[in-house]
Chain A
Amino acid sequence: MLNYIIRRLLYMLVTLVFVAIISFMLLDLTPGSYLDTEIARLRQAGGNMSDGQIEALKIRYGVNDPFPLKFGKWIVGVLQGDFGQSFEFSVPVSSLIWGRLAFSLILATSSIIFAWLISIPLGVYSATHRYTIPDYIITVLQFVGVAIPEFLIALVLMVVSASVFHADVGGLFSPAYVDAAWSGAKFVDFLKHVWIPIIVIGASSTAWLTRVMRANLLDVLNAQYVQTARAKGLGEGLVIWKHAVRNALHPLIMAAGGILPALISGEVIASIVLNLPTTGPLFINALIKKDTYLAVAFLLLLSVMLVVGNLLADLALAWVDPRIRLE
C-alpha cells in the first residue's frame, strides 16, 4: 500500500510538470501578450511610447527570452514558492493567489461533503422505494440538477433571495467584514453567506451522485451476498445499510474522483456570478488580460487540487474495499 502511494505521488509530480509545461506554452507561445495589450491601451489613450521604452519593458518582463529559458526560470521560481510577477497588478503572483485558493478549497470540499450527505440518503431511498412517487420526484430532480449550469442556479438563487427576501447574497462576507480580521462575528457572517455557494457548486454533483448511488444500489441489491445477509435473519435496515450501501459506495467514491473536475469548474464559474473572493474571477480575468504568470499559477494549482483529490478518492477506495487494500 505504501509503495502504491509513493508510486502515485511520483506519477502526480510528473503529471503536474507536464500540466505546467502545457499551460505555460498555451499562454506564452500564442500571439498577443499582456504587454502588447498594455502598449495598445496606452497608445489609444494618447500616450506615446518610444521604441526604447517598449524594449526596456520587454527586457524587464523577459518577454523576448526563448521559451525554454523562460520556462526554466519560472519553474525554478515555482519550486521556491515564487510564481512570478503579475503584469496587471504589478505584485508577486503568490501574494494574490493563496487566500483565494484557500477559499476555493474550502468551498470545493464543503460542496463535496454536502453532495455526499444529500445524495447517499436520497439515492438509497430512491433505490429501495423504486417506482414510488418520491422515487419519481427524486429522479426528475436529479435529471434537472444534472442539466442546469451552475451559474444559472447561482443567478436564480440570487434573484430569488434578492426579490423575495430582499437580501444581498453575493460574496462570502457582508461588506462590513470583508477586510476585517477573523473573529467570531466574522465567522458567523461567513457561515451566513457560504451556504449559497455550497448549494450552487454542489447541486449538479449531488444530482449526479444521487443517480450513481441509486443505480449502484440497485445493482448491489441484486447481488447474492445481500440475499445471504437476508437469509441470515438480518433486518432489512441492516441488510441495506451495512451490506448493500457499503458495497455501493465503491463506484460512488470512484465517481467522486470523476466529479472533482466538474466541482472545480463549477466553483470557478459560480464564483464569478456570486462575486466570491475565490480563484474564479481573478483567473478568468487573468486569462482575458493575458496575465500569463497569474493564469498559469491558477491553472497549475487547480490541477494540484484535482490530482490530490483523485489520490484521496483512491485512498478512500482502498480504505473501504479490502480487495484493493490487500492487493
Chain B
Amino acid sequence: MTALETDVRRRDGAANANDNLIEVKDLHVHFHTTLGVVRALNGVSFNIPRGRVLGIVGESGCGKSITGLSIMQLVARPGKIEGGEVLFKESGEQPVDILKLGRHSDAMHHIRGNSIGMIFQEPMTSLNPLFTVGKQIEEAVLLHQTQNHEEARRRAIDILDKVGMPNPQRIADSYPHQLSGGMRQRAMIAMALSCTPTLLIADEPTTALDVTTEAQILELMRDLQKEIGTSIMFITHNMGVVAQMCDEVAVMYLGKVVERATVDDIFYDPKHPYTISLLRSIPRLGGERHGRLDAIKGSVPDPYSTVTGCPFHPRCPSFMPGLCDTLVPAETRIESENLHTVRCHLHPGSTILGKFGSSGGVATTAPETMTGFAAPSNASEPMVIPGSGGGTVNNSAEPNLTSGDVDDGAAPRVNRTS
C-alpha cells in the first residue's frame, strides 16, 4: 500500500505530487450476521487525487458501495468499520482521519453533505417522497451554507438550473413522484452539489437509467466536475462508463483493490487477470460479428466463506496451484508506468516469501501462464451469456465510449503482452 502513496503523477503532466484529497488505507469492514461474519472490505487502500475522477469498478458484491459508505461513515448495522484510515485533506486544512470522528459527531455532520456529497444508484427511491425537491435541496444548503431561507431557495433553484433542469422554479416545487428517473437523478446531483463539496461519491448513479439518459447524466457530471473542480469517486461496474468518466481506476475484487492505474493503462495495459477478464466481457463495436462474448467463469464466492491466498484464484484462468491458493499477493508497482499497482503473483514483487529464490521462480513461470490465458481456446470453458452475440447486446457501453480506440485496442494489447 505504500506503493500507492508515492509519486502520484497525473496523465496530463501538470502534477502536484502527493496532492491527494482522500487517502484510504487498509480499510476493513465486516458484517456480523447470524450466519457468520462477512468480510466486505478486506484491507482496501487507494487515494483520490484532488480534482480528478477515480473510478471504482468490480462485480456486484465486491465492496464498491461499502467503500463509498465507509468514507461517509454511513455503513449501517450489522456492518462495522473494523480498521483502517480515511485521511481527508481539504485544501488549506489539516488532514483528518474521518474514521476517528464519531459517526454522529458535529465534525462528521459537517463533512457529510458539505465537504463530501453522495449520489445513490436508485433515483426512484433516493429522494424523500414527502418533500418537494426544492425543500430537500434547501435543507442541505440551510444546514451548511446559510441560515437565510430565501437565500437557500435561490441557491436551490440556481443549482437545479445548473444541472440542466428546464424551469427550475417549477421543479423546485415538485414532488419526486412527479419527475422522471433522469430528472430525479439530476435533482440528486443538484442536491449533492448544492454545497459545492470537494468530493462527490457517485454510487452507480446511472445504472438504473436508460441509455440515453445515462449519457446525458454522465455528460452533465463531467461538465460540472470541470466547472466546480470537485473530485469524484465514481463507483460502477460498467467499463464503458469508466472509459467515459474517469481519469483513474481502481479495480476491486472481494473487498480488495486488485489493480490501480490510470484509465489508459487499465484499458491498454491491464495487468491483473481479473481486470483482463472484465475487459474481455465488454461487447465491442467492430469486434467479431458472430463471436461469443467472454464471461468470467463462475461467480463471486459465497460471502460467508473465506478464500485463502489470492481471492480471485478459484476463478483465475492463470491460477498457479500451490502459490495462488496459499499466499496473498502484495501490492506491487509496475515500474514502467505511472501509478500502476497490481496484486497478482504473476507480477514480480507481489509474491513476498522469506526466500528470494521462490519469488524469482514465480516470475519465470508467469509468461507461460499468461500465454495460456490469452489464447481463448485454452481458457477453460467460460460461462457465456446466452444470446449475447457481438454487438447485439443491449449494453450501454458502446454508445458512450468517448474513445472508440479503447475497445479496438484492448484485445491486441492483451495479446501483445503475452
A235-B104, A247-B129 known; A227-B120 Cβ under 8 A: yes
For the complex, is B384 an interface residue (Cβ under 8 Å from A)?
A: no
Proximity bits, B145-162, A CB within 8 Å = 1, else 0: 000000000000000000
Q: Are B139 and A234 in contact (CB under 8 A)?
A: yes
The residue that A323 contacts in the complex, of B122, B129, B191, with Cβ under 8 A, is: B129
For the complex, is A168 an interface residue (Cβ under 8 Å from B)?
A: no
Q: Report the Cα distance A243→B139, complex, angstroms.
A: 11
Q: How far is the CB of A247 from chain B (nearest CB, A)?
A: 6
Q: Are B175 and A236 in contact (CB under 8 A)?
A: no
Q: Report the Cα distance A143→B120, complex, angstroms.
A: 38
Q: Report the Cα distance A246→B129, complex, angstroms.
A: 10
- In chain A, residues 273-327, which have Cβ atoms closer than 8 Å to a Cβ of chain B? 320-323, 326
Q: Report the Cα distance A158→B35, complex, angstroms.
A: 49
Q: Are A230 and B129 in contact (CB under 8 A)?
A: no
A233-B113, A234-B139, A234-B143 known; A228-B128 Cβ under 8 A: yes
Q: Are B140 and A232 in contact (CB under 8 A)?
A: yes
Q: How far is the CB of B108 from chain A (nearest CB, A)?
A: 8
The residue that B74 contacts in the complex, of A222, A230, A322, with Cβ under 8 A, is: A230
A223-B125, A231-B74, A234-B139 known; A321-B130 Cβ under 8 A: yes
Q: Report the Cα distance A229→B175, complex, angstroms.
A: 16
For the complex, is B25 an interface residue (Cβ under 8 Å from A)?
A: no
Q: Report the Cα distance A76→B401, complex, angstroms.
A: 78
Q: Are A228 and B111 in contact (CB under 8 A)?
A: no
Q: Which residues of A lie under 8 Å from residue B192 when comparing CB positions?
A: 231
For the complex, is B249 an interface residue (Cβ under 8 Å from A)?
A: no
Q: Report the Cα distance A247→B177, complex, angstroms.
A: 14
Q: Which residues of B lie under 8 Å from residue A233 when comparing CB positions?
A: 109-114, 140, 143-144
Q: Which residues of A lie under 8 Å from residue B175 when comparing CB positions?
A: 322-323, 326
For the complex, is B293 an interface residue (Cβ under 8 Å from A)?
A: no
Q: Which residues of A lie under 8 Å from residue B111 when comparing CB positions?
A: 233
User: Please, how many residues of chain B have a CB less than 8 angstroms from a CB on the other chain?
Assistant: 30
Q: Report the Cα distance A322→B174, complex, angstroms.
A: 10
Q: Are B117 and A231 in contact (CB under 8 A)?
A: yes
- In chain B, residues 126-182, which have Cβ atoms closer than 8 Å to a Cβ of chain A? 126-130, 139-140, 143-144, 175, 177-178
The residue that A236 contacts in the complex, of B104, B118, B125, B128, with Cβ under 8 A, is: B104
Q: Which residues of B lie under 8 Å from residue A229 when comparing CB positions?
A: 128, 139
For the complex, is B72 an interface residue (Cβ under 8 Å from A)?
A: yes
Q: Are B128 and A243 in contact (CB under 8 A)?
A: yes
A224-B120, A232-B140 known; A323-B109 Cβ under 8 A: no
Q: Report the Cα distance A232→B201, complex, angstroms.
A: 12
Q: Report the Cα distance A321→B76, complex, angstroms.
A: 27
Q: How far is the CB of A217 from chain B (nearest CB, A)?
A: 14
For the complex, is B316 an interface residue (Cβ under 8 Å from A)?
A: no
Q: How far is the CB of B202 from chain A (nearest CB, A)?
A: 12
Q: Report the Cα distance A231→B189, complex, angstroms.
A: 12
For the complex, is A225 an interface residue (Cβ under 8 Å from B)?
A: yes
**A residues adjacent to B (C-beta < 8 A):** 222-225, 227-236, 243, 246-247, 320-323, 326
Q: Would you mind naming 24 contact pairs between A and B with Cβ atoms under 8 Å apart?
A: A222-B76, A224-B120, A224-B125, A225-B125, A227-B76, A227-B120, A227-B126, A228-B126, A231-B74, A231-B192, A232-B113, A233-B109, A233-B112, A233-B140, A233-B143, A234-B113, A235-B104, A243-B128, A247-B130, A321-B129, A322-B175, A323-B175, A326-B175, A326-B178
**B residues adjacent to A (C-beta < 8 A):** 72, 74, 76, 104, 109-114, 117-118, 120, 122, 125-130, 139-140, 143-144, 175, 177-178, 188, 191-192
Could you list 8 further interchain pairs (A-B, Cβ under 8 angstroms) beyond the known A228-B128, A228-B191, A232-B113? A225-B126, A231-B113, A232-B143, A234-B109, A234-B113, A234-B139, A323-B129, A326-B175
